């Protein structure tokens, strides 16, 4: 092969390599362009104020085909003492799913928190099912599912839980709400016997007669009433200097704790 021929073949190889490189770069650029176009077109809504800095970084929360993944949420929020050390929110330490109760793309003004007790129950059941796979003799999951399915199929509300669904009734209310029980367990530990999962107030609750003298059956006096403050200030303000701590009816009215008989609304502290 002559020198000219060898030079011609070398030049042709270089040109072919350049063309292939251009085509590869062009294809990569086209794919990138498509990805950027997809991100521009997929606009489910603005993120909340706390996540607004991720507006242009969908991959921070989403995975292709799968969607948002709990692992990505945990990577940012796992080290949160104020969340994990408080009883009402400590369950987040073992939760395996986030999107059910933390919907995003609802707008800047909306907090990405929407408590859904049914979703929480479903997550808990999934965890029980996974644990049952390691313990073949554990029938907890099967019993719970059978109980729930029975009540759902018959539209029968659980006994003693006339205000919540069968799915919500399997939750242990005290696990999260025990530290906020204003009844001091006078009414037991099953909050769902009286309360609903959407509000603490009870629509059909009727307070006993204002003339009742059995207030202490349900109400416990605050710590200040067991100190000198009660006789030195509270009882004197109410004009009941000889009142005992358990005689709530002598000073208080059923409209509000700080609605004092003969005085009106009074701020003690």
Look at residues 142, 162, 193 and tell me which one is the last residue of a structural domain: 193
Least trusted range by pLDDT, from 14-23, 47-56, 200-209, 227-236: 14-23
pLDDT at 15: 47
Residue 130 lies in a domain: yes
Per the CB < 8 A criterion, the answer to whether 3 and 11 are in contact is no
- The sign of the torsion formed by the CA atoms of 238, 239, 243, 249 equals negative
Asked whether residue 222 carries a pLDDT value surpassing 70, the answer given is yes
Look at residues 163, 193, 223 and tell me which one is the last residue of a structural domain: 193
pLDDT at 33: 47
Residue 16 lies in a domain: no
pLDDT at 1: 54
Residue 254 lies in a domain: yes
Domain of residue 223: give its range: 215-265
pLDDT at 6: 53
Residue 150 lies in a domain: yes
As a whole number of angstroms, the distance between CA 44 and CA 42 comes to 6
* Average pLDDT in the chain: 81
Asked whether residue 71 carries a pLDDT value surpassing 60, the answer given is yes
Q: What is the pTM of this model?
A: 0.65
Residue 68 lies in a domain: no
pLDDT at 154: 84
As a whole number of angstroms, the distance between CA 135 and CA 33 comes to 50
Residue 127 lies in a domain: yes
| Helix 140-154, helix 117-134: angle, nearest 10 | 140
Residue 21 lies in a domain: no
pLDDT at 223: 85
Are 177 and 127 within one domain? yes
Beta bridge partner(s), residue 151: none
Look at residues 143, 163, 193 and tell me which one is the last residue of a structural domain: 193
Domain count, the chain: 2
Residue 1 lies in a domain: no
């Amino acid at each position: 092969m002559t020198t000219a021929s060898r030079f011609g073949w070398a030049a042709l190889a270089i040109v072919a390599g350049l063309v292939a490189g251009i085509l590869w770069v062009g294809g990569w650029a086209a794919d990138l362009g498509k990805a950027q176009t997809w991100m521009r077109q997929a606009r489910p809504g603005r993120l909340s104020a706390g996540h607004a800095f991720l507006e242009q970084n969908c991959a921070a929360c989403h995975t292709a085909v799968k969607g948002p993944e709990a692992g990505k949420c945990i990577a940012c929020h796992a080290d949160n003492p104020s969340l994990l050390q408080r009883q009402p929110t400590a369950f987040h330490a073992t939760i395996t799913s986030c999107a059910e109760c933390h919907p995003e793309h609802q707008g800047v003004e909306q907090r990405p928190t929407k408590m859904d007790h049914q979703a929480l129950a479903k997550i808990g059941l999934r965890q029980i099912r996974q644990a049952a796979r390691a313990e073949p003799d554990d029938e907890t999951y099967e019993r719970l599912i059978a109980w729930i399915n029975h009540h759902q199929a018959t539209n029968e509300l659980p006994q003693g839980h006339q205000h919540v669904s069968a799915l919500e009734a399997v939750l242990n209310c005290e696990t999260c709400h025990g530290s906020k029980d204003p009844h001091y367990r006078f009414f037991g530990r099953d909050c769902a016997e009286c309360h609903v999962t959407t509000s603490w107030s009870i629509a059909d609750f009727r307070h006993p007669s204002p003339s009742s003298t059995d207030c202490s059956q349900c109400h416990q006096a605050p710590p200040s009433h067991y100190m000198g403050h009660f006789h030195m200030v509270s009882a004197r303000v109410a004009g009941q200097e000889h009142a005992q701590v358990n005689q709530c009816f002598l000073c208080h009215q059923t409209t509000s704790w700080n609605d004092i008989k003969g005085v009106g609304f009074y701020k003690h502290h």
